[in-house]
């Protein structure tokens, strides 16, 4: 799934004197790498950027991305939280042509920290679940796209894509098609201090990303809890001694003596059978109701190619 959301970029790191080597695709141990010149495929400069979605600046950002599914077939009702896509980072590999004042891009690596311990499914009530979607993978092997090696501070394993190919986070396994060309390469820093600094910047970004992700899911969990309370108020019914049905909302009771049914709601039902939560509850939460449920008493996103493409072709053959 390509992420087409607009974002603003901030450069976090830049240095020269780096090289990329062919390595075993599943190895993060330099002991298993061959760092001879014959295995070096590129050398030049890198820039590391943090990108933040501008959608997070919206006044509705804290409550967007949550929906509620009411089930009438006996399955649990479900709040669904869309995946956190508010931040990603990009590592650019480029060469500097001083005379032409050009910096042609050789390749790019997109990165977010994928390791997580939080549950994706939570039970809110006996029959209501909270399902939090998450990015499943970026690289073909499902591992992080920038990994510090276990036995060297100077080396990192990186997953490199063609320049301009873009950020493609996959949410579910069904979305994954493997169409983005990726190659696992070994990144080597000539200057050890620069390698230390890059590792620090990477850790700082991963920490910020983790904090933002946790806040995103927490905010939407609170939205779900508040909305669940609102739904409980809307759907409360009380038996009437005169045989009529009286639906209550906002904690008020209306009695009628003509035997008719009096229904109150603090939300609006649109023509598509969807009920939007009233202004007193969080914005942007839509309760999706089936047609049958709506009639019942209970209303709920420069391909400046150097030699990387040729290299990919050679690797694949």
Over its C-alpha atoms, the chain yields an Rg (Å, rounded) of 26
Compute CA distances 56 → 53, 79, 83, 131, 208, whole Å: 6, 21, 13, 21, 15
CA–CA gap between residue 28 and residue 17 (Å, rounded): 21
Name the stretches of the chain with pLDDT < 50: 59, 234-303
Count CA atoms within 13 Å of residue 236 on its CB side.
14
Q: Which residue has the tokens 């006044």?
A: 59
Tokens of 160: 């490199």
**Residues in the chain, overall count:** 317
Contact 254, 245 (CB under 8 A): no
Contact 83, 171 (CB under 8 A): yes
37 φ, ψ to 5°?
-60, -30
Sign of the C-alpha dihedral, residues 61, 65, 66, 68? positive
- Helix, coil or strand: residue 215: helix
CA-closest candidate to residue 83, choices 172, 204, 17:
172
Q: Which residue has the tokens 């590999």?
A: 93
Mean pLDDT of the chain: 76
pLDDT the model gives residue 316: 54
- Helix, coil or strand: residue 96: coil
How many contiguous H segments (helices) and E segments (strands) does the chain have? Answer: 3, 16
- Helix, coil or strand: residue 263: coil
277 φ, ψ to 5°?
-65, 145
pLDDT the model gives residue 240: 45
Quick one: residue 139, left, alpha or beta (phi over 0 = left, psi -120 to 50 = alpha)?
A: beta
What does the DSSP 8-state code read for residue 292? H
- Helix, coil or strand: residue 289: coil
Q: Which residue has the tokens 């003596």?
A: 257
pLDDT digits (tens, 9 = 90+) for 40-70: 999 999 999 999 988 755 545 666 888 888 7
pTM over 0.75, yes/no: no
């Amino acid at each position: 799934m390509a992420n087409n959301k607009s974002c603003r970029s901030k450069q976090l790191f830049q240095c020269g004197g780096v090289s990329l080597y062919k390595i075993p695709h599943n190895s993060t141990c330099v002991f298993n790498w061959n760092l001879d010149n014959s295995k070096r495929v590129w050398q030049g400069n890198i820039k590391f950027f943090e990108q933040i979605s501008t959608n997070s600046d919206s006044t509705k950002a804290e409550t967007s991305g949550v929906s509620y599914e009411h089930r009438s077939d006996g399955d649990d009702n479900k709040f669904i939280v869309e995946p956190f896509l508010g931040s990603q980072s990009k590592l650019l590999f480029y060469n500097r042509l001083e005379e032409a004042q050009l910096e042609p891009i050789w390749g790019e690596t997109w990165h977010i920290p994928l390791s997580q311990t939080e549950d994706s499914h939570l039970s809110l009530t006996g029959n209501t679940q909270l399902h939090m979607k998450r990015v499943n993978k970026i690289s073909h092997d499902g591992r992080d796209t920038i990994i510090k090696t276990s036995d060297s501070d100077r080396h990192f394993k990186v997953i490199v894509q063609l320049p301009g190919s873009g950020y493609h986070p996959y949410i579910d396994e069904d979305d994954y098609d493997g169409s983005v060309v990726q190659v696992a390469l070994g990144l080597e820093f000539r200057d050890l201090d620069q390698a230390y600094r890059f590792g620090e910047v990477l850790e700082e970004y991963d920490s910020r990303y983790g904090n933002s992700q946790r806040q995103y899911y927490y905010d939407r969990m609170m939205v779900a809890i508040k909305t669940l309370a609102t739904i409980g108020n809307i759907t409360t019914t009380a038996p009437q001694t005169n045989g009529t049905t009286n639906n209550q909302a906002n904690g008020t009771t209306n009695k009628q003596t003509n035997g008719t049914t009096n229904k109150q709601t603090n939300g609006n039902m649109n023509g598509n059978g969807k009920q939007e939560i009233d202004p007193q509850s969080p914005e942007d939460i839509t309760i999706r109701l089936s047609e049958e449920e709506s009639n019942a008493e209970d209303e709920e996103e420069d391909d400046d190619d150097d030699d990387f493409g040729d290299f990919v072709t050679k690797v694949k053959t």
